[in-house]
Amino acid sequence: GTLITTEQCLLNRNRNAHLGKAEVERQLGDYLGVDSVIWLPRGLAFDETDGHVDDVCCFVRPGVVVLSWTDNREDPQYEIVREAEEVLRSARDARGRALEIHRLPHPLPIEMTPEESESVDRLDSTWARPAGNRIAASYINYYPGNSVVVVPQFGCDLDVKAKQTLAELFPDHKIVGIENSREILLGGGNVACITLPVYAPQRR
């Protein structure tokens, strides 16, 4: 199969400083059965996990991916998503196919409020969460189940567009929006980050 990840994450000194790209690919093959790895340079800005791919891009099904997207030139994500799209357009999957790329709108910038900042219980090992900090919101951080797709909602106009886009990409799934997902986001992740998909076996 094919795996998409980011160099910023898997090649980060704080994770795998002793491993080069070739060795990471070998281990991904050993543990996950991966035949091909597509390396995006980096994840989204403001992501405290060092650029996890689940905020910027993911597979819809084999050969089809969805990419977070913004046309706002003032947004730091603008260059990042174009950089990712360029890599995806030139990539081929394990079967030699060009990828079909769909764009999912990136939510409007969200900043932590003073009330939210004060409500977060901090440990010594966690990042500071001062008021005014931009939060790494992304609709790409959804959970795809066997019959539903659970997608974050951020209380902005693009919530509806994100659900509509996912409904087109997953026509056999019910699209469920989590209206209070901002609460999850305050901890540094979102729906995909707090779930672990366990899929039912396909019926033959």
Q: Which residues are catalytic?
A: 193
Report the first-to-last Cα separation within the chain, whole angstroms.
Answer: 21
- Residue 105: C-alpha distances to residues 38, 57, 147 (Å): 22, 12, 23
Q: Which of 88, 31, 2, 8 lies closest to 23, judged by CA? A: 31
Structure tokens at 158: 């693009």
Which helix (H) or strand (E) is 102 found in, with range?
strand 100-105
User: What one-character DSSP code corresponds to residue 108?
Assistant: P
* DSSP sequence for 46-80: T-TTT--GGGTEEEEETTEEEEEE---TTSTHHHH
From residue 19, alpha-carbon distances to 3, 26, 39, 76, 193 in Å are 18, 10, 15, 29, 25
